[in-house]
Structure 1
């Protein structure tokens, strides 16, 4: 689903990236993630830049244990503010020394949550007085013992192998569809031009390559364009997400040996 006003559409590779960054942004390697997703490290880095530009990734935050960092106290203030003033008051609260996070809720009471760190209880009372002074009503508050962040489960890959195919799928009118698929190393179409693939009937008449993402570049397909392993190809298939149409971009499944 697009994020607010941005037209950016998440595919399987994007979801893998977001899950990995939420899990451990510091130690996420573009090359390792690329190997798991079946694309190049440059493609992963390019996707991260796009996610940042689209506003889906807003930043990278360190999770700090303030109790270990000098025995400081972390307090959560549950506040109630008029809806019309919520955004302004949230920004004013964020500017108070000691406040490290402000969360606004769409409806209901306690529609403003303020997380703050103080040296001691008197410091936390100072923050509470400052919140009250700017017009924020504190309904309740409590010391935070521990926070346990975890990545968003639905963005997790199903396995540690190649990215599921297709990466993305959009159904159009009739039986047509737009499908995004990654070219695997030993796929029948890998290393061929689009013209050669069509001439050998590897690429059928119902399948049209409309875009190619290669590392940090977006290529416009032509007859002499050679498809390379790890290319992310967007195809228009008039036969829908037909398995035969997608098979040319995948490695052949080895036949099992049977005893005679």
Structure 2
């Protein structure tokens, strides 16, 4: 609920708010205010105050357990895709939530299918009963399907840059063997045209190397997992290898004389 003191429209998230939301989306049950505070370098009291403010403004709307209903007595989870007349959508949303077995109702913008209803039943007979009760409210069920599994993940843009914890950068910069390295990306280098995530998956970048900035023309950007490396980029990174080959090789043009061309 949004309190009388404010609304979500009046509140602007800053970096601390985003990191709080990321941490709670990742694991709200076991993540504590002191743990989040350690990640963002503020006090636990600040984190608790921020969480309360996010709740007051209707940005954090609740904390829910994720339940595998199939393992809970072998129950079935069914997704109903529904069409609801626009003037009735608020009424039907409220009424659908009172039907026993319905665990989630989601309103959608645009398109003929404008409501998703998630229901749990002991068997198909019970799911058909829920379907009839939904139809009696005045909506039309366009399609339905059994849900096999569902995974929730935190929203990556609210997390640490490039999906890595900011403490990693701190620990690398403070360790004796790590160095800050600036590398100009050469044309035809192995990393050109790849995202950072793709470069990691291809093992062009190892887990000990952290990209912290990319200078491209007059722009300096913070790299993320989906950032594509381009030729002539100036990449700044932390690496325990310094300017040795494992660090610089992905950014340099491959020597064709050393490559083997299959027949």
Q: TM-score under structure 1 normalisation?
A: 0.60
Residue 138 (str. 1) matches residue 137 (str. 2): no
Q: Secondary structure at the match of 1:146?
A: coil
**1:160 matched to 2:165:** yes
Q: Which residue of 2 aligns with 1:121?
A: 124
Distance 2:168 2:40 in 1: 5
SS of 2:55's partner is helix
1:75 aligned onto 2:51: no
Corresponding residue for 2:101?
Answer: 98
SS in 1 for 2:36: helix
1:66 aligns with 2:58: no
Equivalent in the alignment of 2:110: 107
State the SS of the aligned residue for 2:16. helix
Structure 2: gaps of 5 or more residues: 1-5, 170-263
> Using a 3 Å threshold, how does the CA distance of structure 1 residues 90 and 149 change in structure 2: closer, same or farther?
same
CA contact (8 A) 2:7 2:58 kept: no
CA 1:163/1:87 → structure 2, altered by over 3 Å: closer, same or farther?
farther
What's 1:84 paired with?
A: 87
Report the Cα offset of residue 161 of structure 1.
Answer: 3.2
- Retained in 2: the 8 A contact 1:98–1:116? yes
Structure 1 moving runs of 4+ over 3 Å: 3-6, 161-164
Higher relative contact order (CA 8 A, sep 6+): 1
Query: What is the deviation of 1:163?
Result: 11
Aligned equivalent of 1:201 = none
CA contact (8 A) 1:13 1:163 kept: no
Shift of 1:160: 2.6
Within 5 Å, which residues of 2 pair with 1:50-61? 50-61=53-64
Shift of the alpha carbon at 1:162?
6.1
Unaligned segments of structure 1, at least 5 residues:
165-260
- What root-mean-square deviation, in Å, do the aligned CA atoms of Structure 1 and Structure 2 show? 1.8
* Superimposed CA distance per residue, residues 8-58 of structure 1 (whole angstroms, 9 cap, x where no aligned partner): 110000000000000000111111110110101111111000100111000
Whether the 8 Å contact between 2:77 and 2:147 is mirrored in structure 1 is: yes
Checking the alignment, whether the CA contact within 8 Å between 1:118 and 1:124 is kept in structure 2 is yes
Report the Cα distance in structure 1 between the residues aligned to 2:107 and 2:168, rounded to whole angstroms: 36
Report deviation, 1:4: 6.5
CA shift digits 1:145-174 (9 cap, x unpaired): 00011010100022433699xxxxxxxxxx
Shift of 1:6: 3.2
The change in CA–CA distance for 1:146 and 1:107 in structure 2 (over 3 A counts) is same
Report deviation, 1:5: 5.3
Deviation at 1:63, TM superposition (A): 0.3
The SS at the match of 1:6 is helix
CA deviation string 1:199-240 (max 9, x = no partner): xxxxxxxxxxxxxxxxxxxxxxxxxxxxxxxxxxxxxxxxxx
CA distance in 2, matches of 1:17, 1:31: 11
* SS at structure 2 position matched to 1:128: helix
How big is the shift at 1:108? 1.1
